[in-house]
Amino acid sequence: MWRSIFDPQNGFFQTIDLIFNLAALSLLWVALCIPVVTAGPATTALYYTLVKCIRKGEPYPFRNFLECLKSNFKVSFLTGLVCLVAGQLVLGGLYVVYQMALAGNRAAMSLLLVYALVTLVLLGVLGYVFPVISRFSQGVWGALGLALRLALGHLPSTLGLGVVLLAAGLVSVRYLVPLMILPALAGLAASLLLERIFRPYTIPEEGLPEDPAERPWYLR
C-alpha cells in the first residue's frame, strides 16, 4: 500500500508535477517578458515546451525551453520587434476611433465595431507567429507570411485563438495572481487549435512510420 501511495508514477504525484511545471514555465515566461522586447523569444520557447513536454510527454521541459530560446532567439526577437511596432499602430488606431465614438461620432461608433473585429483577427494572426517559429525553419518575413496564410486559411480557429489571447490578456492585466499559471494554460489552449493545423505541413512526403515510437514527437 505504502509503495503505491509514494509511487512517483501515481496520479497524485503526476498532477503535482504537472502543476509545478506549468507554474514554473509561466513564471519563467513572465520574467523573460519583463524587458518587453524579449517577449517573442519567450513565447516561442514556451509554446515549444508546452507541446513537446506537457502534451507529448517528452522529458526535461526546462532544458527544452532554454534550447528553443537559444536556437530561435534571433528570428523570434526580430519578429517580436515587428509585431510590437504593428501592434502599437493597430492599438493607436483603435484608441483614436474609440475616442471619436465616445465623443458621439456615429460613423466612428460603427467603425469601432469593425475595427474591434479586425483587431481580434489580427490578434489571432499574432497567435500563429511564434508557434510557427518554434516549429518551422523560417526567417522573419517567412514566419510572418506563413502565419498570415495559415490564419486566413483557418479563420474560425484564428478567431478562437484571438479570443483565447484576448481573454488571457484581460485577466492578466486585471489580476496578477493568475500570471503564476495562466500563460501556460493559454499556450495549451492555443495548441489545441494550432497543432491540428500544423500537422499536415509536418508529415514527411514518404509518410509516417507504422510504429508511433519512431515518429517525431510532434506527430505522435
pLDDT tens digit sequence for 117-172:
888 888 999 999 999 999 998 899 999 999 999 999 999 999 999 999 999 988 88
Residue 2: pLDDT above 50? no
Query: In this predicted structure, what is the pLDDT of residue 157?
Result: 95
Domain boundaries, the chain: 10-196
Query: In this predicted structure, what is the pLDDT of residue 8?
Result: 58
Query: In this predicted structure, what is the pLDDT of residue 131?
Result: 97
Phi, psi of 216 (to 5 degrees): -60, 155
pLDDT band with cut points at 50, 70 and 90 for residue 177: confident
The answer to which of 36-40, 64-68, 94-98, 204-208 has the lowest mean pLDDT is 204-208
Residue 6: pLDDT above 60? no
Q: How far is CA 23 from the centre of its chain?
A: 16
The C-alpha cell 490578434 sits at 123
Q: Give the CA distances from residue 179 to residues 24, 70, 109, 169, in Å, rounded to whole numbers and listed in that order.
A: 11, 24, 33, 10
Q: Which three cell numbers stand for residue 60?
A: 526535461
Q: Which three cell numbers stand for residue 146?
A: 506563413
Phi, psi of 196 (to 5 degrees): -70, -25
Query: In this predicted structure, what is the pLDDT of residue 102?
Result: 82
